[in-house]
């Protein structure tokens, strides 16, 4: 390739090329950038189902609730809740945090403890 054509090719690629970035509008479902979520944080009240983390497991590890049901997650300083790959990005509870999450759509929501990888599931009917 002659030098002047090479320079034009570089210029054209730089001006029209895709930089590989992903915006929230075109992010794959379940990715960290996806904007839609079926889970929202709500104020805790009495009577919610409680999920706690103990040594090596969530209690209960699996449960079923109705659409618009609320689960109260109570995590100690050594455990947390993170969504499994492709899961709902709002399914997060930090270490040493109590958080109530409302599940707005039917489905199976799986999660795990970040440092220990034990798993839990909320099934919403």
Under 8 Å CB-to-CB from 97, ≥6 apart: which residues? 73, 75, 80
Closest C-alpha among 121, 103, 125, 124 to residue 40: 103
Answer whether residue 91 shows pLDDT above 90: yes
pLDDT in tens, 18-30: 333 333 333 444 4
Question: What does the pLDDT average to over 19-48?
Answer: 63
Q: Which residues of 90-122 are buried (b: 16+ CB within 10 A; e: fewer)?
A: bbbbeeeeebbbbbeeeeebbbbbeeeebebeb
Report residue 47's pLDDT band, with 50, 70 and 90 as the boundaries. confident
Q: Which domains does the chain have, with CATH numbers?
A: 37-118 (2.60.40.420)
Range from 14-23, 57-66, 99-108 carrying the lowest mean pLDDT: 14-23
Q: Look at residue 21 in the predicted model and tell me its pLDDT.
A: 32
pTM for the predicted model, two decimal places: 0.71
Cβ contact 84:119 at 8 Å:
yes
């Amino acid at each position: 390739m002659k030098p002047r054509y090479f320079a034009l090719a570089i210029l054209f690629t730089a001006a029209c090329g895709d930089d590989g970035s992903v915006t929230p509008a075109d992010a794959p479902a379940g990715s960290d950038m996806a904007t839609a979520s079926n889970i929202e944080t709500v104020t805790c009240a009495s009577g919610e189902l409680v999920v706690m983390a103990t040594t090596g497991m969530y209690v209960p590890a699996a449960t079923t609730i109705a659409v618009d049901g609320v689960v109260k997650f109570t995590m100690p300083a050594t455990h947390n809740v993170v969504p499994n790959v492709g899961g709902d990005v709002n399914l997060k509870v930090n270490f040493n945090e109590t958080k109530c999450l409302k599940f707005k759509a039917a489905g199976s929501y799986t999660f795990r403890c970040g440092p220990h990888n034990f798993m839990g599931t909320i099934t919403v009917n």
